[in-house]
Structure formats: C-alpha cells, structure tokens
Structure 1
Amino acid sequence: MRAEMRERFLGGRIVWAAFGAAPLPARMVEFMESVLDLPLHDAYGSSEGGGFMIDHRPIRPPVLDYKLLDLPDLGYSRIDLPHPRGELLLRSESVVPGYYNRPDATAEVFDEDGYFHTGDVIAEIAPDELVYVDRVKNVVKLSRGESVAPSRLEGLFSTSEVIQQIFVYGTSDQSYLLAVVVPAQEAVESVGGDPAVLRPRIAWSIWRLAAEADLHAYEIPQAFLLETEPFTPQNGLATDVRKPVRHKLQERYGARLEALYTAMEAFGGDI
C-alpha cells in the first residue's frame, strides 16, 4: 500500500523531502519516511529570511551567526541547565533589510547589531545544534512562575493512539494546565462513543506519555474537555498546514475552560 502511494500518487521520483512550519510528531515522521522510503528532514526558516536550518543545524551560508536572548519574564536563560535557552537571533545573508515604509516594525525585529529576532524559543543542545521549543508569544507563565510551551506538549500528546488533536490551555492566574481533546475516531468507535469509558483512556494516555517524556507535574493537563469536531481550516481553528490557530481556539473554548477551572477549585481548590 505504501509503495503504491509512493509510486502512483507521488510519482515515484522523490529524492529529498522535508517538513516545516511546525514540528511533526515522531509517529508522523516515521509514517512519512516509510511512505517516501527516504529520510524526512526538519527544515526551519521564516518569511523574512527563507531557510535558516536543516535538521537543527544552521545552513552556512546564508547564516552568518546566531545568539540566544534571555527571556527572564518567561523563565528562559543562556545559563539554563542542562542546555542554554532563549529567543533565537540570527544574522543571515538572506534576511530582508527591513519592512517597507515601516521603520517602527523594522526596529522591533532587528537589534542594534543587526541580528534578526525570530520570535522562537530555542534550546542550544550543542554548538550549532539548535532545537525548537516554542514561539515567544505562545509561552504561558503559570501562577507559580513556571514557563510552559503548549505547542511542545501538544506535539507530544498528539502522538497518543487515542488523541487526534489537543489544545493545551493555561493562564498566569492558575498553577496547572487544562486541555481540549479531539479523540481519535478509532478510539471513539472502540468504546461505542461512550465518554465515560473514553475519558479515562485519554487521561491514562496523557499521563503515560508525560511519564515517558519525564515532564514536570505542571506540564500535564489536570482535566480536559472532549470535543467531537476536529480543528480544521474550514472552522478556522487550524491553518492550511494544520497548525493550530491559538487565538481562535482560545475564543472558542476559553469560557468553557475558565468555567472548568472554577468547577475544579470548588472541588478542592488549586491542584
């Protein structure tokens, strides 16, 4: 079947393949590599500068240099252990010189030394080996000061066989996370659509993956809403490349999630 997909639907002449826009779950990478019969490369770049990295390593040229910027309000620093973390700033031959007739916007994205602010939180695993953590604007700081990267957690939990999609939610007023879960169709069918059976299966899967990834307790959603409608470009909850549209998800589910926080506090307070 996969050989047929490769030869018949994809033409059978692919010699190199990559993904971008957002990290892919390991299960999806494994599947695509089995279909393509090729390694799937992790590409990183931006509209302003084109490609910057392949497989977590800067492309030289065009990249000339990079550095990490401390984000103390979000809890990221170049002295973090075991790896330095911070916003990735780049000097590159391919970066645009600025925004047309927008000196204010240009000043916001370039520092005084000409480094471009990518807006991405990066961990430097080794010299010239950089791993994406999250967008600066997507990082949530909880009430006890911990910084959480929701998209990283969503990528992890979406590898569950019982979860099709997940939206992780938190605020600076609370010390723990909640989530919205779209269950996998096979999981729904296997329990006859009974949420009383499906909920504990999803919860167990989340905790199992969290334990395997050695997550902190505050990185694990303590409760979740079940949603039967997937996040799609058609309903505005995902982009054309299936990235979650976070502000739209917050608009759709924010009130219900805040109500869930209130209900949980009524049954024992902060957990």
Structure 2
Amino acid sequence: MTTAIYSIEVPGAPVVPGETKPRIDSINVDGKLTTNMDGVNNMHDNLLLGMKLAGPNARCLGYRPMNGNNEPGPYKWMTFKEVKESATDIGSGFTKLGASAKSRVGIFSANRIEWSLVDYGCCVYGQISVPMYDTLGMEAVKHMAEETEMVVIAISPEKLTEFLKLWADLPLVKTVVVFGEIPKESVALAPEGAQLMTLDNLMELGKNDGHAPLPEISAGPSDAYTICYTSGTTGRPKGAVLSHMCFLSTVNAARNRINHGHIPTLDNSDVHLSILPLAHCLERCIHAILSGNGARIGFNQGDMRKVVEDIGELRPTVLVGVPRIFNRIHDQVWAQVKARGGIASSLFSYAHGVKRANLKMGSNTHWLWDRVVFKAVRERFGGRLRLVISGAAPISADVLDFLRVTLSTTVLEGYGMTEVTGPSGVTYGGDMQAGSVGPPLGNSMYKLVSVPDMNYKVDDKPNPRGELYIKGNSTFSEYYKQPELTAETIDTDGWIATGDIGTFNEHGNFVVIDRRKNMFKLAQGEYVTPERIEIIYTDCPVIEQIYIHGDSLQSTLVAILVPNEEFLRREIEGSFTISERASKPLNNLCMDQDVVQLMMNIVKSWGQKNDLKGFEIPKAVYLESDPFSVENNIMTPTLKVKRLAAKARYSQIIAELYAKSNSDSA
C-alpha cells in the first residue's frame, strides 16, 4: 500500500473558518502555481516548441482520406512544418477578410484535421476561436454567433445546409469557409453582401492575393485564446473566455508531472486518436499537451461506430475517453469471457483477481498473465497503448481497475470543468488506488468549504468534507458578455465553486462523494443527488442509460431507463417465466410489463448491492428503446444527461409513473 502524498497545503496559507487550507500539487514544494514555459507565450508558440522538439519534417496531424470507393485509406500525415505553413495561410486569410486580432471566428464541425488547422491559424494572427459542438442544434449556433459577433465561421460540409437557413439572421457573418467542395446550389443561398468559400480558397487568399501572408500577430499569455461554450445540462450555453495562459499553464503542469515521472514521457513516437469533441476543453488540452511535446494526433474518420477500425489502423499510444466508452468496453469483454465459459473464463477471472489485488501494491503488470491472458485485450487497442485517460465524468472503481489490469499500462483519471480549462487535476501514474480523481495539477489549487445544510464540514473526522473550490492559472476570466453570471461564479478572491462535494483522502487526493448542483429534496426531507445515483446504475451491464427524476412533492424517485439490448435479452432468456419472449423486437420488450418488472427487480438489487439508501432506489421505471443522444437533445456532447430536456420530454410518462407508484403504495 502506497504512503505517498500527492498534494500539500500551500505554505503559509492563513486559517479561514469553515475552509480547509488550499492544497497544491506536491511537486510545487515552493507553493507557487505553474505558469507558462519561458518563451512560450501563446498557443502558436506551443506548436513551434513541438516542431522544435520533433523536427519540422516530423509527422504532426493525420487523417484517413477516402478512396474512389468511398472507403478510408491508411493515415496520411502533415508535418509540423506543413501545419505551421497552412495555419499561417489560414490566419492571414481570415485577417484579409476583416477578422482582425481579437475578432471571433467560429468553428462548426466535428473533429477533423481542418478543425485544428483553423484553430492554429487563429493563434498565428490573434483571432479568438469559438468552437461549437457540431450537434448542439441551430438555435444554439445562432446564439453563439450573435453573442460573440462572429465575422467568419468555418464549417464542415454536412452542416452547411442547416446553417444556410439561418445565415440571413446573422448579418455580421460575412464569410463562411467550408471544409470541402461547395454545392453549386448553395452558392446562391448566401445572403447579399456575404460569401461562401472553400478552405483552399481561404488559404490561397492568405498566401497570395498579390502579396505574401500578412505579418504574424503575437498574442500574450493573458490574451483571450478561445471562448468555449459549456454545453449545459440545464439551460442555454454560456461562453467561458479562456486565455492562452489557461492552456499553456496546463501544458506546463503536465510537463512537470512528466519530468517527475508521474506521467509517461511524450514525444513524436507517440500518437493519439482524437475521439472526444475538440469543442470540449479536455480534448483541446490533450491536443495542446501532445503538440507542445512534439507528439502526433490522428483524427478518426468521423463515425464513432468505426472507431475500432481507426484504432486498428492508427495503433495509438495515447487514448482519452469518457466513462461511457470505457464502461462499454468493460461490459463487452466480461460478456465475452462469460460466454466462452470453461477453463478460459475461469483463468481470465483468476488472473484478473490476482492483478487487481496487486494494484494495492502499486503494480499493474504481471510476467505471465499479461502475455497469456490479457494480450488479446491490449491488441484490440492496437497493442501499443502507453497512456489512457478517463475524464468528463466519474468512472467506477471496477471499470478503472479493469482498465489497469487488462491494459497493463498507465491509466489516469482526471477532474475538471470548462471554467478551469478542462482538466484541473489528474491522478499520478503510480497511484493505482481507485476512488479518487487525484490532486490538482500544478497550475491550480483546491480548497474545501463547509456545506452545513448538507452536513458536510471541514472539521469532519477522519477527513475534512465540503464543496470543492478551484483557483489558479487555468481559471476562466468571464462568461462572455454576462457580468452578473460571472460574478456569481467567481468570488472576489478568484475562487470558483464547482458544486462537487468531496474530501481529501490520506494521500491528499480529492474524492468526490456528493453533488451540490442538481440536488433536490424529496417530500419527506431526504436530499437526493441524481447524478451520483445515475453513475452507480450505469455501471450495471443491463442498463445503458438512465435518467433519475425526483420531486419535492413526491416521496420517491422514478427513472427513465434505456436498457442494454444484448444484456437485457440474456436476462430474459435466463428467466423461467418469460424466456420465450427474448427474440421480440426491443421496443416490444420495453412495453412488456413483465420485462419492466424484471428490470425493476434488477434496479432494486443493484441499488442494494451498491449501498444506496431506500429512498435513492427508484420505485418505478419506464423502459425507453430509443437511446438518449445529442441528436434527440437528451445528452450533452460529453454524454451527460440534459436534465431539463429529459424532464420536458418525459413529463407525461413521469406523471404516469408517479400515479402508478402512489397507487401501488396506497
């Protein structure tokens, strides 16, 4: 068992009643927060540093071009020099179109190589990029374009038709740059005085147009780099203004962890498969860290159903995902193990148990089991993974341990939010004790503040408990054009309340134990944190997605549940009374009251197994055959439930669930 300490109290910090002393990364023994690296003053400098480390002709960004049969070919790479030159042409083109320094440039696209080229182009000439989740919907796109007064938007072809319908309502947007060919019929649909052009046209304009690219404009560390709109689980997106320092200090904090051996070294031999949305701060920070260390980034082909193919082709050494992705991997592997049966299944379970026990000793490798049992799992990910990171939402201890055991590599869990530039903290590589999200990175500090109304106090024993506050060089400056909301979020000393309740464990790691935001009280006075309950239930193999609903006028919870079809059919097949129905269509199964009762029994037993209190276990469920998604507006792009949207969509069903539940208990 490790006795390491991963965070320390800030030396000389005063005692404030109702608060813990601020804690910082134990690497920062002088008590000072990490800033940008000397000579790296903006994100363009960060790219140039990566080019210096790797070499100008080293591979930088890669993608899979389609062949004549519309099938993806092998990865094609741009060198650091080519990326730098393309970015200069793009930024110069934007400037010639009227987007001067500090002008806002929208990026409306899923992850693709052009996304990064446009972002780098903005860095060269001081424009502020405003990424848009490509699945947010057009009302949100219109809101962001209006609020930030965008003058140019770069857009992927599949989004063009929908954007053309609202372009006339955005008079400030004079140019739309398309990643690819522009259909002839679309050209005539541009509003009067506005224009469509391809990215190639823009680059040609930036490079030539009778003279060379314009002189570069160097931004300073405190200048705004990007406005990141939070997808929002409860309302309209709001734009967090993030400076170059926000990202540069995160890159440098990660570099310090690497230098101290707590994160694997990164160089041009490393390659990352970009899966999470680039409009999300976590993926953006990962790109910045990798680029600044001279590593390579490969883009997936744009279809999440084909990510396994991309993994096989790219064979990444770095993989960053959200818990839902890793939960699915965990469930699929264990399902295959159980289906195999016999000696093979027993051997896998035994080897897993041995290695999981060894995690407590700080080891996740085994001379025999890694070669005999777990090699097949590693090969599914290309066989070269050196670093795996889970972020954006909590991951269960079972799944985290599973990844460490089967992949036999460094697996980290991060913590953060948009307002602190994504990852504000991450576990140490040698810390294999699941259950915490690690200490703060060197550019941030944490403190806990008592929450008396929830009975969490910083003088609780054995460890302090309270709401987590974050402050540092990664914190956002403001919500764009929303001073009142900014003042509500950042206190006068620069601290941001996260809404997460937690504690510092014996190693100085932050452990999330509850949630203040979205908390509500049931009719009999019990406080409920629905997100915590949802996390517990999504670890159940039979449950793919779940929305927990409660009401202060009701004494119980109800749930909208999307079952995992494969595992649901297995449960039905194993049932003595309804096994013959297992082959029915999923929507029919979801309407079958016997199947609903079967799922209700699973919900009850899983809740009890995971120590949920009686009032935290839903008393009625509705089975939904149509998964929650970004497209149907129930999920955010980072795969979190949008609570207001879910409540509105299922309001009638929720009322019926309560009516039935209350009738049964009468």
On whether the aligned pair clears a TM of 0.5, the verdict is yes
SS in 2 for 1:267: helix
1:219 maps to what in 2?
Answer: 616
Name the counterpart of 1:171.
551
SS at 2:491's partner residue? coil
User: Alignment partner for residue 425 of structure 2, among 50, 53, 65?
Assistant: 53
Matched residue type, 2:424: F
Question: In structure 2, do the counterparts of structure 1 residues 253 and 85 end up closer, same or farther at CA, with 3 Å as the change threshold?
Answer: farther
Contact 1:123–1:132 (8 Å) recurs in 2: yes
The residue correspondences of 1:54-73 to structure 2 (distance < 5 A) are 54-55=426-427, 56-70=437-451, 72=453
Aligned counterpart, 1:88: 468
Q: Which residue of 1 aligns with 2:379?
A: 4
Q: 1:96 to 1:262 in 2, by over 3 A?
A: same
Corresponding residue of 1:259 = 656
Q: 1:206 corresponds to which letter in structure 2? A: V
| Aligned residue pair count | 263
Deviation at 1:119, TM superposition (A): 2.8
After superposition, residues 115-264 of structure 1 pair within 5 angstroms as 115-126=495-506, 128-190=508-570, 191=572, 192=582, 193=584, 194=589, 195-264=592-661
Deviation at 1:240, TM superposition (A): 2.7
1:179 counterpart SS class: strand
Is contact 1:76-1:85 (8 Å) kept? no
2:456 match: 77
Give per-residue Cα distances to partners, 1:60-90, cap 9 Å, x unaligned.
5212341224162xx2421667765432112
Percent identity, aligned pairs only?
30
One-letter amino acid matched to 1:2: V
Looking at secondary structure, tell me which structure has more strand per residue.
1
Cα gap change, 1:234/1:99 in structure 2, threshold over 3 Å: closer, same or farther?
A: closer
State the shift of 1:35 in Å: 6.3
With over 3 angstroms needed to count, the CA separation of the structure-2 counterparts of 1:215 and 1:80, relative to structure 1, is farther
Q: Which residue identity does 1:234 align to in structure 2? A: E
TM superposition shift of 1:22: 0.7
For the residues of structure 2 that align with 1:213 and 1:143, how far apart are their CA atoms? 24
Unaligned segments of structure 1, at least 5 residues:
none
Cα contact 2:562–2:625 (8 A) shared by 1? yes
Deviation at 1:173, TM superposition (A): 1.0
Q: 2:487 aligns with which of 82, 92, 107?
A: 107
Deviation of the 1:124 alpha carbon: 4.0
Q: How far apart are the structure 2 equivalents of 1:253 and 1:32?
A: 35
- Assess, with a 3 A threshold, how the Cα gap between structure 1 residues 178 and 98 changes in structure 2: closer, same or farther: same
Deviations 1:124-159 (A, max 9, x none): 444733222455332122112211111111111122
User: Can you give the 5+ residue segments of structure 2 that lack an aligned partner in the other structure?
Assistant: 1-375, 428-436, 573-581
Q: Following TM superposition, by how much is the alpha carbon of 1:168 offset from its aligned partner in structure 2, in angstroms? A: 1.0
Q: In the alignment, what sits opposite 2:250?
A: none
- Distance of aligned partners of 1:140 and 1:82 in 2 relative to their CA distance in 1, 3 Å threshold: farther
**Change in CA separation of 1:30 and 1:126 when aligned onto 2, cut-off 3 Å:** closer
Please give the secondary structure, in 1, of the residue aligned with 2:415: strand
Alpha-carbon separation, structure 1, partners of 2:507 and 2:524: 32
Give me the whole-angstrom Cα distance separating, in 2, the residues matched to 1:268 and 1:156: 26
User: Distance between the aligned counterparts of 1:2 and 1:60, measured in 2?
Assistant: 31
Greater mean deviation of Cα atoms: 211-220 or 58-67: 58-67
Shift of 1:220: 0.6
Larger CA deviation: 171-180 vs 200-209: 200-209
Contact 1:21 1:241 survives alignment (8 Å): yes
**Distance in 2 between residues matched to 1:213 and 1:188, nearest whole Å:** 20
Q: Is the 8 A contact 2:619 2:661 kept in 1?
A: no
Change (3 A) 1:60 1:231: closer
Q: How far off its partner does 1:221 sit?
A: 0.6
Question: Quick one: distance in 2 between partners of 1:84 and 1:216?
Answer: 23
**Residues 165 and 230, structure 1, Cα contact 8 Å, conserved in 2:** yes
Alignment of 1:38 onto 2:409 = yes
Q: 1:178 offset after TM fit, Å?
A: 0.7
Structure 2 counterpart of 1:77, which letter?
Y
Helix, strand or coil: the match of 1:117?
strand
The alpha carbon displacement at 1:101 in A equals 4.8
| CA distance 1:6–1:267, change in 2 (3 Å) | closer
Higher helix share: 2
| One-letter amino acid matched to 1:21 | A
Q: Which deviates the most, 123-132 or 27-36?
A: 27-36
Cα distance change on mapping 1:174 and 1:86 into 2, 3 Å: farther
Q: Distance in 2 between matches of 1:209 and 1:81?
A: 29
TM-score (normalizing by structure 2): 0.37
Query: Structure 1 residue 204: deviation in Å?
Result: 2.5
| Inter-CA distance 133–39: structure 2 relative to 1 (3 Å threshold) | same
| CA-CA distance at 1:94 after TM superposition | 2.1
**Which range is displaced more, 49-58 or 175-184?**
49-58
Superposition deviation, residue 231 in structure 1: 0.9
Please report the TM-score for the alignment, with normalisation by the length of structure 1: 0.84
Report the Cα distance in structure 1 between the residues aligned to 2:663 and 2:456, rounded to whole angstroms.
Answer: 37
Aligned mates of 1:152, 1:2 — CA distance in 2: 29
How many Å apart are 1:250 and its aligned residue? Answer: 0.9
Structure 1 residues 26 and 255: alpha-carbon distance in aligned structure 2, compared to 1, 3 A threshold = farther
Q: 1:61 to 1:3 in 2, by over 3 A?
A: closer
* CA distance in structure 2 between the partners assigned to 1:228 and 1:82 by the alignment: 45
For 1:80-138, what per-residue CA distance to the aligned partner results, in whole angstroms no more than 9, with x for missing partners?
67765432112223213434554322221122333212232334444733222455332
Q: Secondary structure at the match of 1:112?
A: coil
Check conservation: 1:69, 1:88, Cα contact below 8 A.
Answer: no
Where does residue 145 of structure 2 map in the other structure? none
Structure 1 residues 120 and 96, CA gap change in structure 2 (3 angstroms) = same
Greater alpha carbon shift after TM alignment, 219-228 vs 182-191: 182-191
Q: Secondary structure at the match of 1:186?
A: helix
Among 389, 400, 420, the alignment partner of 1:29 is 400
The alignment yields a C-alpha RMSD, in angstroms, of: 2.7
Larger RCO (CA under 8 A, 6+ residues apart) = 2
